[in-house]
Amino acid sequence: MPAACMLQAKLSAGLNSCRFEDNKGLSVEISAGARGIFSGCVFTGGKGPALKCVDNSVLVISASEVVAVAGDAVKLLDKARVSLSGMSVRGCARGVWVAGSARLTAKDCRFEDNKGPSAEILGRAGGGFYGCVFTGGKGPVLKCVDNSRLVISASGVFASAGNALEISNAARVSLSGISVRGCARGVWVAGSARLTAKDCRFEDNKGPSAEISGLASGNFSGFISVGVPAGIVVRGKSRLRLVSSSVRSAEQPALSVSGSARLSVSGTSFFSVGDAVFAGGRGILGMADSSAVSEKGFAINLGVSSAELRRVSASGVIGIFIRKVRLVKIENVRVNARKYAIVSSANNGRDAVVNAEAYAAPNPGLSGPASARGLYIKNVLFNGHPWTPPLKPGPRKRSLLFRFAAATYAMPVFSQLYRRVYLIGPAVARLLLPSAGMKSLYLYRGMTGSGWVPALSDMDLACLLRTLLPGEDWRLYCALKRRQRALKALLPYTGEIMAARDDEFLEFMSVWGIKGREFYSSSKLLYGTELPRRPSSGNGENADLTEAFYAYTILACHFFSAYQPIPFVRRNCLKNYMDVTRYLDTKSPLRDSRREYALAAGICLDDFASYPKKEAAFRAFSALHAAAMERLPEMARPATDRLADASASLNNSFAGPRPFEALAKEDASADSRRPGHTDFEKICRVLARTCGEEAGFVWDSLYRFYIIIPDALAGDRAVFNRVASAVIRAGRSSEFLAQASVLISAGAFELLSFTAYLNNPLFWLDLAGCCREGGGGEPNGGHNGGIYRYGFTPSYRRPSEDFTREMKALALKHFAATWRSLWEKMPLHYFYSRAAGLRLLLEKGNSPAFSDILTLSSVFQETYGPNIPGWKEFYSRGFGRENYEFIAVQVEAAREKNV
């Protein structure tokens, strides 16, 4: 039946105060580019739609009513444009239906008791509702599907029997300043839809305030949810970002997570009578600057794949419950619990608790099963007092046994007993370690010579593996780790167990100077095929230089240790002092043998008990300083070169446009002693008062803490002793000095930054371009790492191109041969930065500084494609198979380029 009023063919008409009642068809139809302007009109009854606008037509309605229409109140198709203002739609089958590419704008309108959706947007249509009110009806009140767009601002949805808003397919919806109260459910988002909600309030709804599922995503800020079951539910592979919000639920969890969802929460408070936050499935949860309060349950219940809590407060019967989580990091948290502060049942997980405070719980701190592994706890306070969990029986017994052995090693009866126990070690290793995929097993270093000391020496082993497919490589690694744990449990004196592919190990030994030659001359084959000897590549002097810094680091670790047995410390300090000097002494024909070199220097290694550790440390310190003074003039480029040259990046932006001399000028004009408030600056000020104002400090936050003495004072033994004593005293209470502390001269530190130390041939670039004054205050620096300095100004010099080129190759060969042995022992930052940075260096010639992990990740992805995981994704996956195989692939790719 034709419409009661029809406008076509670009006609324009205006109707004021008209009534349309009980029409059997359309009341008004506008098409073919026509334009209608209605004001004060009333449409009642009839089949509907009351108004229909199609084609390119335009309809403007103000101060009008549509009541009890059996069909749609307003229907838009094609490219129609409709504007509603001050309009009331009541008791209709459906309010507004918008399809095609139509556009609807509604201001200050009311939609009441409609049987279907008050507004439905589909196709590629768009709608905007401003200052509108929706009440009653069966719901959903608003529905947005397909590729449509919807904006709702300063509006309210009340007392609907259905959902307030349903979004699905690829729809995009933006909510701002809306209120939803008394509906069956607040917002339901599915498919691949996206919802943005800002400053919205959801109260007393019968279901969740927001439910996100499928591949949908939400971005909520200023989100307030209050009610009985009110909360946020996130399912499937959806994503949610929740900022500056408040969620309170009287029954269900305030936040419920399942599936593979990913959540980022900051500045948000959660409250529930039950669990405040319940996170399960295989997803990822990140929470910062937030709080969770439970009246009768867990404040935070974690069962996701990975979770990270920073600056979070939790209060409940149990504060934080960790179940079947692969990786959890809890940092700077405050827990108030009536039973347990933190409970971990993640037997195979890796849980880290740092800077935590627990109050009120009758059971202190952290509870977990005896079989739990990978538990790391630092700086935990319980009721205001420092607390650490009791040692497990195994480690405690091993510690006592080691101390007893170190105290009795020289007694004839015990010495013979220890020797017999040690001698069965290689046979046990030969029985336990070999498995399918292992090519060779070697005993090397200490126990292969005549100078080893039962009870003080280690049994070092090298497992050489066949070249396998990635999946088989991972399975072999897992099997080898299990066997290694069994061997170390059985034989506590088991030391380093190196695991490497035979071809990677062969390349490494052929270039690694003295250490490579020592392996061939002193190692003993326990199982499998003997490794063929490859001719040495060059004289290995630069590899020896790098190894000298490794030896000095080991010496420093023993020297600054306050809890190791004295004979053990003195022996290791003396051994590593001799290693430092012979690695640096390129002219000695005896340098390949530590014992012969020591005898030529008038030192008997067997008399270690009478050799002071300070003497060994100072002599090694002096040897490195002398080597730096000799070698730096010939290898360091002057400060007039530009920093951009040092890292001529793939996009010319790695290190910025400022030249070296500009950076140096800025440092000279800045007060490097300016007062600071971070923990790093506090410990540096304490050390500076004792060490002297000349000392400087550099904190490579995931790896090392360097104490730097100016070159002018490097020869003063009294200065060295004063600084060393201050570091030892401070190290007993400082989390920063709990990492490897290295006391070094300024020149030796610059030389170290030029080498392949820690497989970072660009450490000089880290210092020049990324080293920040002051510190972030976190003893572990956070997983992104970072380099900080206090009282120290970098030289802003760089090594020669030839030297850098050799160090790149050495770093790759060292990393390729050692990374499997360090898996799960070094931070994830180490593996990603070295694999990505070394591949960029070897294939493209340049790389961002390794400490700038976010820039490095971005450039690495841009260079090698979207399938490369970024740093954040890599970190979230932890030490699992995916990351292991990723590192193996990157190392192999870099090696192929370097052949």
Please name the helix (run of DSSP H) or strand (run of DSSP E) that holds residue 897, with its range, or none.
helix 881-898
* Co-location of 386 and 274 in the same domain: yes
Strands 696-700 and 787-790: antiparallel
Tokens describing residue 543: 């590899």
Better-scored residue on pLDDT, 306 or 108: 108
How many Cα atoms occupy the beta-carbon half-sphere of 477 within 13 Å? 23
More confidently predicted of 753 and 281: 753
Q: Please enumerate in sequence order all residues whose Cβ is within 8 A of that of 591, keeping only pairs 6 or more positions apart, or say none.
A: 514, 582, 583, 585, 597
d(CA 833, CA 870): 11
Mean pLDDT (the chain) is 86
Q: Which domain holds residue 767?
A: 542-799
Instruction: For residue 342, give the nearest of 326, 327, 359 by alpha carbon.
Output: 359
**Does residue 21 lie in a domain region?**
yes
pLDDT tens string 37-75: 999 999 999 887 999 999 999 999 999 999 999 999 999
* Longest distance between any two alpha carbons in the chain, whole Å: 116
For 852-863, the pLDDT digits (tens) are 999 999 999 999
Same domain, residue pair 586 and 528: no
Contact 110, 86 (CB under 8 A): no
Count of C-beta atoms within a 10 Å radius of residue 395: 10
- Cα radius of gyration (the chain): 35
- Is 323 within the bounds of a domain? yes
> Is 784 among the domain residues?
yes
What number of other Cβ atoms are within 10 A of residue 410's Cβ? 13
Boundary-marking domain end, from 799, 817, 845: 799
Q: Write down the residue that tokens 């190196």 correspond to.
A: 498
Lowest mean pLDDT among 147-151, 503-507, 673-677: 673-677
- Give 532's DSSP letter: P
Regarding whether 772 and 633 lie in a shared domain, the answer is yes
Provide φ and ψ at 785, rounded to 5°.
Answer: 75, -160
Alpha helix positions (H), 612-705 = 613-635, 643-646, 660-669, 679-691
pLDDT band at 675 (very low <50, low <70, confident <90, very high): very low
Least confident of 317-331, 703-717, 725-739, 850-864: 725-739
Query: How far apart are alpha carbons 155 and 130 in whole angstroms?
Result: 6
Considering only 504-508, 755-759, 791-795, which range has the smallest mean pLDDT?
Answer: 791-795
Angle (CA) 183 189 191, round 5°:
150
Question: Which is nearest to 326 in space by CA: 369, 380, 276, 285?
Answer: 285
pLDDT tens digits, 766-775: 998 777 776 5
Look at residue 383 and tell me whether its pLDDT is greater than 70: no
Residue type, 295: E
- The stretch 137-151 carries a mean pLDDT of 94
Tell me: do 623 and 579 sit in the same domain.
yes
pLDDT of 253 over the 80 cut = yes
Residue 514 shares a structural domain with residue 556: no
pLDDT confidence of residue 678: 61
Q: Looking at residue 766, what DSSP letter applies?
A: I
Q: Are residues 793 and 864 in the same domain?
A: no
In a domain, 144, yes or no: no
Residue 348, pLDDT score: 52
What total number of domains does the chain contain? 5
Q: What DSSP designation does 757 have? A: G
Element holding 741 (H helix, E strand): strand 740-745
Residue carrying the six token digits 């205050």: 777
Cα separation, 20 vs 40, whole angstroms: 12
CA angle (862 as vertex; 860, 867 as ends), nearest 5: 80
Residue 242: per-residue pLDDT: 97
The answer to whether the CB of 829 falls within 8 A of the CB of 850 is no
- Examine residue 129 and state whether it is found in any structural domain, yes or no: no
pLDDT band at 372 (very low <50, low <70, confident <90, very high): very low
Query: Can you tell me the distance from the alpha carbon of 831 to that of 895, in angstroms, rounded to the nearest whole number?
Result: 16
CA distance 433 to 427: 10
- Two tokens, residue 660: 């070296």
Which of 799, 822, 856 corresponds to the end of one domain?
Answer: 799
CB 477 within 8 A of CB 499: yes
Which residues, in sequence order, are CB contacts of 750 under 8 Å at separation 6+?
628, 632, 636, 764, 795, 797
Task: Confirm whether 831 is domain-assigned.
Answer: yes
pTM > 0.75: yes or no: no
737-751 tens-digit pLDDT: 766 899 999 999 999
| Phi/psi at 483 (5° precision) | -70, -35
Q: Which residues of 715-742 are buried (b: 16+ CB within 10 A; e: fewer)?
A: eeeebbeebbebbeebbeebbbbbbebb
Quick check: 489 and 478 in contact, CB under 8 A?
no
Mention every residue, 6+ apart, whose C-beta is less than 8 A from residue 607. none
Distance, in Å, from the CA atom of 700 to the CA atom of 681, rounded to the nearest integer, reads 14
Instruction: Examine the pLDDT at 363 and tell me if it is beyond 60.
Output: no
d(CA 303, CA 258): 9
Mean pLDDT throughout 658-667?
A: 36
Are residues 348 and 234 part of one domain?
yes
Between 412 and 663, residue with greater pLDDT: 412
160-210 pLDDT, tens per residue? 999 999 999 999 999 999 999 999 999 999 999 999 999 999 999 999 999
**Alpha carbon distance 595, 467 (integer Å):** 36
Is the confidence at residue 403, as pLDDT, over 80? yes
Residues facing 7 on adjacent strands: 30
Residue-level pLDDT at 637: 78
Q: Is the alpha carbon torsion for 254, 872, 198, 118 positive or negative? A: negative
Domain end marker among 489, 523, 538: 538
Residue 261 lies in a domain: yes
Q: Please count the residues of the chain.
A: 899
97 plus 65 within the same structural domain: yes
3-state secondary structure of 739: coil
Same domain, yes or no: 745 and 787: yes
Looking at the structure, tell me whether residues 631 and 774 fall in a common domain: yes
Do 628 and 766 have their domain in common? yes
Q: Looking at the structure, tell me whether residues 407 and 376 fall in a common domain.
A: no
Query: What's the mean pLDDT in 373-382?
Result: 66
Residue 189: burial class (beta carbons within 10 Å; 0-12, 13-18, 19+): buried
Q: Which has the closest alpha carbon to 439: 534, 533, 529?
A: 529
Residues in Cβ contact with 349 at an 8 Å cutoff, skipping those fewer than 6 apart: 322, 324, 325, 326, 327, 328, 372, 374
d(CA 601, CA 599): 5
Which residue in the block uniquely carries the two structure tokens 């420093």?
Answer: 556
Angstrom distance (rounded) from CA 76 to CA 59: 10
Is residue 736 very low, low, confident or very high in pLDDT (cuts 50, 70, 90)? low
Beta strands in 324-426 (DSSP E): 327-331, 334-344, 350-359, 363-367, 375-382, 385-387
pLDDT exceeds 80 at position 871: yes
Place of tokens 């004072």: 713
Over the stretch 486-533, which tens digit does the pLDDT of each residue have? 898 889 899 999 999 999 999 999 999 999 999 988 899 999 999 888
What CA–CA distance (Å, rounded) separates 488 from 478? Answer: 15
State residue 876 phi and psi, 5-degree precision.
-65, -25
Cα 314 from Cα 332, distance rounded (Å): 11
Continuous H helices in 823-880: 828-844, 853-864, 871-877
The end-to-end CA distance of the chain, in Å, is 83
The predicted structure's pLDDT at residue 666:
39
Measured between alpha carbons, how far is residue 549 from residues 262, 557, 601, 624, 716 in Å? 43, 12, 21, 8, 21
Q: Assess if residue 179 is contained within a domain.
A: no
**How far, rounded to the nearest angstrom, does the alpha carbon of residue 81 sit from its chain's CA centroid?**
49
Q: Tokens 């909510």 appear where?
A: 175
Is the distance from CB of 441 to CB of 433 less than 8 angstroms? yes
Structure token pair of residue 634: 């010939």
Mean pLDDT of 561-565: 83
Considering only 225-234, 300-309, 358-367, which range has the smallest mean pLDDT? 358-367
